[in-house]
Amino acid sequence: MRTLLLELRFDGEAYHGWQVQPNGLTVQEVLQNALEQVLGRREGVTGCSRTDAGVHARQFFCHLRTDHPISPARLAAALNHFLPPSAAVLSCREVPADFHARYSCRGKTYRYHIRNAAVRDPFLVGRCLLWPYPLPADLLHDAAQDFLGAHDFSAFCAAGSSADSKIRTVTRAEVRREGDDVFFFAAADGFLYHMVRIMAGTLLELAKTPDRCVPGRIAQILASQDRTQAGPTAPPAGLCLWEVRYGGDAWPKECS
């Protein structure tokens, strides 16, 4: 048996997330459909993360175990032939047998995209949140620094999470403006259910009340461990899984 690691990119607007489910089309399902076309069998694939319906991925990894002799390069090319235009395999390579796309992961970075303008950009519909109100990116960046470090993120976790621990270590919390586009980047060793969307929604809620948008406010919410103290869950369209880290690189060290 060989273990193959696939790097994917997908537009999540057409999908009900990554994981196969009975009530809608998912990225895992279309990938398994393509694998069946190429390999003549329906192989199981394991993703590095679950994504919500409508959430995108600039970088996503999954692995499969197979005894099929197809080369990694040929498999990637063949899968792209059968995948829909909204998903693509960027690369494929063989990895050690004990590699696991999810459990070998050392961290992830998400980006939340906010279009801070009065009028929507048709080229960005489905890929960002339109926010026509004032958005003080510098103040939000300062407030977001309270996310950094190891904290109990219960206040930033949606009901229904199956995580045993709500403690996560955030290594990046950055808000930056590029013209009418405002980006929130969050990197951590792991994320809870809807965590980044609640973080983004809380920052937007603070933007509505600039007097509360100060360093220390996020820390108070974290300390409360109370979901009702945080802001609403931001819509999924603005969220993108930006980077997945294994060891010190985007690729596993074993594959370098």
Active site residue 52: yes
- β partners of residue 107: 245
Angle among Cα 127, 5, 76 to the nearest 5 degrees reads 75
The structure tokens 């999924």 sit at 236
Q: From 251, 233, 245, select the one nearest 52 (Cα to Cα).
A: 233
DSSP H or E run through 31: helix 27-39
Q: Which amino acid is at 55?
A: V
Dump the DSSP string for 197-240.
HHHHHHHHHHHHSGGG-STTHHHHHHHHT-GGGS-PPPPGGGEE
What are 247's two structure tokens?
């060891």
Would you say 95 and 254 are in contact if contact means Cβ atoms under 8 Å apart?
A: yes
**For residues 128 and 126, what is the distance between their CA atoms, to the nearest angstrom?**
6
Q: Where are the beta strands (DSSP E) in 13-99?
A: 46-47, 56-66, 87-95
Annotated catalytic residue, options 11, 52, 164, 189:
52
- β partners of residue 150: 169
Hey, which residues are catalytic here? 52
